[in-house]
A and B are shown apart, each in its own frame.
Chain A
Amino acid sequence: MRSFQFFRTLVLRPLRRDLVRAVLTVAAVALGVGVVMAIDLAGDAATGSFRSSLETLVGKTDLQITANGGVDEHFLPALAALPVNARFAPVMETQGVMQGVGAVTVYGVDFVAQAREQTRKAIPQDLDRAAVISSGLVRRAGVHEGDDISLALSEAARTFRVARVAEAEDTEFVLLDIAAAQQALDEYGKLDRIDVFVSQGEDFARVEREIRSVLPGSYRVEKPGTRSEENQRMLRAFRWNLRVLSYISLVVGAFLIYNTISVSVVRRRPEIGVLRALGASRRWVFWLFLAEALLFGLAGSLAGIMLGRLMAVAAVGLIGDTVNSLYVSSRPAAITVGFPAVITAMIAGTLVALASALAPAREAMGVTPVEAMARAAREHHARTHARRNLVWAVLLGALALAVAQAAPIDGKPIAGYAATLLAIAAMALAAPALITGLAAGTRNAAQALFGPEGLLAVRGLAAALARTSVIVGALATAIAMMVSVGIMVGSFRETVIVWLDTQLRADLYVRPAGRTGAGEHPALPTGVAAAVSSIPGVDAVEVFHALEMDYEGQRASLGAGDSAIVLRYGRLRFLPGEDRETILHSLANRDRVIVSEPFANKHNVHAGDILQLPIGAQTVRVTVAGIYYDYSSERGWVIFDRSTLLKYLPNQPVTNLAVYVRKGADATDVRHAVEARLANYRVVVAPNYALRQNAVTVFDRTFAITYALEGVAIAVAMLGAANSLLALVLDRRREFGLLRYLGAAPAQIRRMIVLEAGFLGVAANLLGLALGFALSLVLIYVINKQSFGWTIQFHPPLVLLAGASALVLLATILAGIFPARAAARLNPIEVIHEE
């Protein structure tokens, strides 16, 4: 009870007197915690569960049999004949387009076997037209049992009848009989997987052994969660990088808590002296200020949790877009705020607040009782050892450089993250020396340009070094994040644009209509390639086959094109030292592949290495002929010549075409001719420029979440700047009162504060730009490389950076306006005669 009384009197009441600043501090913590929480919640929701929605209908699958290129259905009788108590269900899974609804997941299952299994369910009479729809889809589509629906799978749309509605409120899918699905997809003899249901009491391990005994070694037999785990692993690097970016906002918040508690300690030194004189121990004083920090941490965290939940709604769309575009098709789940997420947020916000308050609380411990006796409230000059700190800054910077060279740990660029934190710490330690140097160096210029206000602003900064260096540190951290990510994204964008020029050489591209996510390669209708080849003006048509595969437990893409056409028309770029012509010449009809750089980095593959590729029923030994630069997918590509792939997967469907127009022919006319010829097919004919534009649009959308995170960090820093400037003003109120006595007009005092804010902004920009450039190198050459395997060429977007820096400077100056007004409004008589 007594503790609460002390808390109320000695912590809450002083905060009430300084309400604006307290609210600003809590807001800064809330933003930092909120953004960390939003990224986590949105990441969980956007990546969805990856569970097959079929599970809600048929029950939990015990095992799944899959293979690169599809499972041969001829293995079904052999599996059924095994001496085990298990059921084997063939499954096709694809995306279709339902008229009036849009994209839906379509499964092909054995209706007959299912009906036998679930004895209550009748076998639909017209199996080739029957469809079972989930109740979740029924609600959206507005259809009922007995209605007809129009569903397009690869070629023209077909009509199916809703034979039954399956209870599955949370998911949307259409079930067709497997034969009907195979017919609609023109994929006879192949299944996407075989689901295995093991009867209760049966020896699970024996079932698995028996299954493996009849299947080729290239087939995978794994628990259903494995696919989900693989997907989560693939997204791990992406999500980790987003998390680390979100933590930057917390780091900025940490600077601000430190500043707030420091201000509190300085202001209340006489009060602390009185408490000590009355018998309070040093430890008691220490805990008093930690309690203040704890209050900020708790209040900020609580507000941050609510804010995070709101921000997650916006973030889930941005993250979901990226996941679908670059990684894997997923259905966003609902955002759920579980107990662990709440606890994590509370702990993060509170720990950051407590850690930030340690140093000022220790300073408070050192206040002696004699401070209560001081008649004049002398300014407490916190000693800042600018030179000593600069030495430490150099040492930490060197350590950051050394740490950045380390290899990834468990696929994560931990060393890169550590180097980033070390660099930020180095910058914070260098801030006092920079401010001192800047103040000394610009004193004359400041006075010449801005008169006495300029002189006072510059001097004021250096005099309050302990405080101003923290403001500069916080701002510079946020600016560095903006600069480093801006350079990384700008460099990446430029690299991608240059790469697009080498990659997209055809005049037209043809692909199946409908939206597809990463990892989805719907087949082109048969006959499309032949139809296009016969059009006058078409010089060459490169036929491409793409399919997903698993390699060494990770998702990757397998493709096959025409290396002769690529050689003639393309400009594929290989790693330095590899000759393009030699490599491409060596692919046709041979077990040789080229792999993309991300694939090579992920699997530690070099030119000349042998890969064991599971393809269909075989494991094929292939030689890596070369490694090429590719930015289309972080999953990585392994590319055959068509002649080789068709040897192992003879019926592998075509997924895209690249069309080259003859020299001299009118490209627009040819495009119209192609579109007219393919009018009856569900395909999209895209000219080269449209594909490039789309690629750049996808790229920009991918980084939208990153820009949002940068914006939050800057907002936190701005809140802190306004808060800290206000604190500076309140601490120097006697100085401003004196200036009024000396004949300063209120406008001059306002100008002085705004100039101080401007100088702070300049100092922060200088430090932030320097740190940002250094961090961009870590991002590009360490974190990005280790996370995703890409080589990014360094192309800093200087104009953009200059504009962004100018905006931040302007915002900092604006942050000084409220404190400037507060300073000008002070009553000089009151403040001069305060003791």
Chain B
Amino acid sequence: MNPPRLELRRASKVYQTNGQKLEALHDVSLMLEPGTITALVGRSGCGKTTLLNLAGAMDFPTSGEVLISGRATSSLSEEELTALRRNRIGFVFQFFQLLPALTALENVELPLLLAGAARARDTAHERLEWVGLGEKADSFPHQLSGGQMQRAAIARALVHSPDILVADEPTGNLDNASGEQVLGLLRDAAGRFGATVLMATHSAEAAAIASTRVQMRDGRICAVERS
């Protein structure tokens, strides 16, 4: 039997700031399968972003484990972690985080270039077309609207066909129409590309597309709702 795509086992995260301890995450356990969308909901400071960082192997639990396809992230070397981010994980941010110096096409192409992949440009074109921005390939981020920037960011996050897509408030900075478009793309990512989508959100509409909604408060999971 295959291990879950992404699993958190009693993961906790404690930060030390100026000699004081801050428990951002406490004893969280979660299992996510391919092709699913999981939404983390809760107020600001409830631990959503911390959980996303653990899931995306950008950070490591103070106790407990985070396993990607059965392998604990804290057991991976720096090179293995880099390879993981290049090949298996994609990130989408609230504030898009496109590189202002690169065109839309170059931004999408970037993960493949960093990985030294072949046909980077062609693949990037395809992704950009998929998100409906084929004509904006040579535009710079400051020439795109918020919605267009976020769609380009999703194209970038999916250009290397990752197993896991981590999205932090993907519609938080968008109007309703753009937000709808973005949510549609996330649904496609899970359905068409088989990605495991883990999304933090305040938006009810965003939470509605998820098959699993995880309610968080003060670093703990207080409820899990499946539809």
Interface residues of A (CB under 8 A from B): 376, 379, 381, 447, 451-452, 455-456, 459-460, 462-464, 734-735, 738-746, 748, 828-829, 832-833
Cα separation A745 to B59 with both chains bound (whole Å): 15
Q: Does B110 contact A (CB under 8 A)?
A: yes
Q: Does B19 contact A (CB under 8 A)?
A: no
What residues of B have a CB within 8 angstroms of the CB of A744 in the complex? Answer: 82, 114
Contact call B85/A743, Cβ cutoff below 8 A: yes
Looking at the assembled complex, report how far the CB atom of A577 sits from the nearest CB atom of chain B, in whole angstroms: 61
Known: A742-B91, A743-B86. 7 other contacts (CB 8 A): A381-B142, A455-B113, A459-B102, A735-B99, A743-B87, A748-B114, A832-B97
Contact call B82/A734, Cβ cutoff below 8 A: no
Of chain A, the residue at the smallest CB distance from B86 is A743
Interface residues of B (CB under 8 A from A): 49, 53, 56, 58-59, 78-79, 82-83, 85-87, 91, 93, 95, 97, 99-102, 106, 110-111, 113-116, 142, 156, 173
Cα separation A109 to B111 with both chains bound (whole Å): 91
**Contacts between the two chains (Cβ within 8 Å), count:** 68
What residues of A have a CB within 8 angstroms of the CB of B115 in the complex? Answer: 743
What residues of B have a CB within 8 angstroms of the CB of A452 in the complex? Answer: 110, 113-114
Interface core residue of A451, A452, A463 (most chain B CB under 10 Å): A452
Contact call B100/A741, Cβ cutoff below 8 A: no
Known contacts: A462-B101, A829-B58. The answer to whether A742 contacts B95 by CB under 8 A is: no
Known contacts: A743-B82, A829-B53. The answer to whether A734 contacts B97 by CB under 8 A is: yes
Cα separation A455 to B110 with both chains bound (whole Å): 10
Contact call B95/A463, Cβ cutoff below 8 A: no
A376 interface neighbour in B56, B78, B95, B100, Cβ under 8 Å: B95
Contact call A829/B59, Cβ cutoff below 8 A: yes
What residues of A have a CB within 8 angstroms of the CB of B111 in the complex? Answer: 742-743
Of chain B, the residue at the smallest CB distance from A459 is B101
Known contacts: A463-B101, A735-B99. The answer to whether A741 contacts B85 by CB under 8 A is: yes
A-B contact pairs, 10 of them (CB 8 A): A376-B95, A451-B116, A455-B113, A460-B101, A735-B99, A742-B156, A743-B115, A745-B79, A832-B93, A833-B49
What residues of B have a CB within 8 angstroms of the CB of A746 in the complex? Answer: 78
By Cβ-Cβ distance, the 9 closest A-B pairs, closest first, are A743-B86, A463-B101, A452-B113, A459-B101, A743-B85, A745-B82, A741-B91, A376-B95, A742-B111
Contact call A451/B93, Cβ cutoff below 8 A: no
What residues of A have a CB within 8 angstroms of the CB of B113 in the complex? Answer: 447, 451-452, 455
What residues of B have a CB within 8 angstroms of the CB of A447 in the complex? Answer: 113
Looking at the assembled complex, report how far the CB atom of B68 sits from the nearest CB atom of chain A, in whole angstroms: 14
Cα separation A548 to B86 with both chains bound (whole Å): 82
Cα separation A306 to B177 with both chains bound (whole Å): 66
Cα separation A460 to B85 with both chains bound (whole Å): 23
Cα separation A464 to B142 with both chains bound (whole Å): 14
What residues of A have a CB within 8 angstroms of the CB of B106 in the complex? Answer: 455, 459
What residues of B have a CB within 8 angstroms of the CB of A735 in the complex? Answer: 99
Cα separation A471 to B134 with both chains bound (whole Å): 37
What residues of B have a CB within 8 angstroms of the CB of A734 in the complex? Answer: 97
Of chain B, the residue at the smallest CB distance from A744 is B114
Cα separation A456 to B142 with both chains bound (whole Å): 17
Cα separation A463 to B113 with both chains bound (whole Å): 20
Contact call A376/B173, Cβ cutoff below 8 A: yes
Cα separation A609 to B48 with both chains bound (whole Å): 95
Cα separation A828 to B115 with both chains bound (whole Å): 18
What residues of A have a CB within 8 angstroms of the CB of B101 in the complex? Answer: 456, 459-460, 462-464
Contact call A463/B100, Cβ cutoff below 8 A: yes
Of chain A, the residue at the smallest CB distance from B166 is A741
Contact call A828/B49, Cβ cutoff below 8 A: no
Contact call B114/A828, Cβ cutoff below 8 A: no
Cα separation A721 to B49 with both chains bound (whole Å): 37
Cα separation A734 to B91 with both chains bound (whole Å): 14
Looking at the assembled complex, report how far the CB atom of A183 sits from the nearest CB atom of chain B, in whole angstroms: 86
Looking at the assembled complex, report how far the CB atom of A435 sits from the nearest CB atom of chain B, in whole angstroms: 12
Looking at the assembled complex, report how far the CB atom of A468 sits from the nearest CB atom of chain B, in whole angstroms: 11
Looking at the assembled complex, report how far the CB atom of B111 sits from the nearest CB atom of chain A, in whole angstroms: 5
